[in-house]
Amino acid sequence: MGDMTKNLLSSLLNKPKDPKLNSKKFIKMLNSAYEDTNTNKEYKKKKTFSPSTIGYGHGTCPRYWWLAFNGAEFTENIRAANIASMKSGTAAHERIEKLVEATGLLKEREREIKSDSPPIRGFADLVLDVDGEEIIGEIKTIKDQYFIQRKSEGQPSPSHFLQLLVYMKVEGASEGFILYENKNDNELLSIPIEMTPKNEEYINYVFEWMDEVYSAYEENTPPKRGYTKSTWTCKSCPVSEACLEREEGVKKIANLKVGVE
């Protein structure tokens, strides 16, 4: 290798002594740009249960829903990396939906799922038509370690399972599936779910729980706190501040049990 080539490589590889762009500050600016597009605090008043929330963390707490239905200030503490992940997940959903459409089985995408009693509103990612029968599907993108776990167990996560069962019950579907994609290598995994007697018994319990929680809201009877403020569930709850500020609960409603035992 000649001296000229060595000097050229050296100039390309060596970092400038006084770069005009400070890398750490630049990354901080990018993260701030993500966070600026996200509302940290916002007053909200929910009208329905959300199937994607019911079975996860604070969604299992009756007091959370009482506050949400009455109206409260929601505080969302979402890191920049999480916002990026959500945006990537949305793009992946659209890509996978088009892939499913290419199979010729897709009947509908993003179907609105509604129930009046208890009040529920959500959107099922996929509705397939297989030999004249509707099959409800949900798309989930997950990290490699969780994908390996789902593949090994052949079972969805409890919260995903509950979400799909809600859609299936409202739509009267006997079959459904959760389509997982590995975020690392885009491998796909489809886990079928049937409305077996055991699953039907469980989802009926979930609906009865929602009925009880909504009745507490209608009767203006605040539930007692389902979790202590030192727990992760309470700390990550978007209405935790409002929960502590509002009156103490007077009605004991058990937290929702997630998953079939």
Evaluate if residue 118 carries a pLDDT over 60.
yes
Given the DSSP bridges, would you call strands 133-142 and 72-75 parallel, antiparallel or unpaired? unpaired
pLDDT tens profile 79-103? 555 555 666 667 888 899 999 999 9
Quote the DSSP letter at residue 49.
B
Q: Which residues contact residue 109 at a Cβ distance below 8 angstroms, ignoring those fewer than 6 apart?
A: 97, 101, 125, 126, 127
Are 68 and 46 in contact, with CB atoms under 8 Å apart? yes
**Average pLDDT, rounded, for the chain:** 87
Angle in degrees, CA 78, 238, 146, rounded to 5 = 55
Rounded to 5°, angle at Cα 76 from 71 and 80: 160
- pTM, to two decimals: 0.82
- Report the distance separating Cα 179 and Cα 128, nearest Å: 12
What average pLDDT does this structure show over 180-206? 95
What percentage of the chain carries pLDDT values higher than 90? Answer: 67
One-letter amino acid for residue 160 of the chain: H
Type and span of the H or E element at 171: helix 158-171
Alpha-carbon gap, residue 110 to 133, rounded angstroms = 18
pLDDT of residue 74: 92
Q: Return the ∠ at Cα 202 (arms to 200 and 206), rounded to 5°.
A: 110
* Model confidence at 219: pLDDT above 90: yes
Check residue 247 and give its pLDDT: 81
Chain-centroid distance of CA 235 in Å reads: 17
- Mean pLDDT to the nearest integer, 217-242: 91
Closest by CA position to 173, among listed 152, 151, 195, 158: 195
- How far is C-alpha 25 from the chain's CA centre? 31
Alpha helices in 126-157 (DSSP H): 144-153
Residues 6 or more apart whose CB falls under 8 angstroms from that of 53 comprise 59
Q: Count of H helices and E strands in the chain?
A: 10, 7
Tokens describing residue 185: 């290598």
Using the 8-state DSSP alphabet, how is residue 116 labeled?
T
Tell me how far apart the alpha carbons of residues 113 and 168 are, in angstroms, rounded to a whole number. Answer: 9
In this predicted structure, what is the pLDDT of residue 249?
86
The pLDDT value recorded for residue 128 is 96
Q: 143: which residues sit within 8 A by CB, 6+ positions away?
A: 182, 183, 184
Q: pLDDT at residue 77 above 70?
A: no
Range 11-16 average pLDDT: 56
Closest to 49 measured CA to CA, from 156, 203, 180 = 203
User: What pLDDT digit, counting tens, does each position of 141-176 carry?
Assistant: 999 999 999 999 999 999 999 999 999 999 999 999
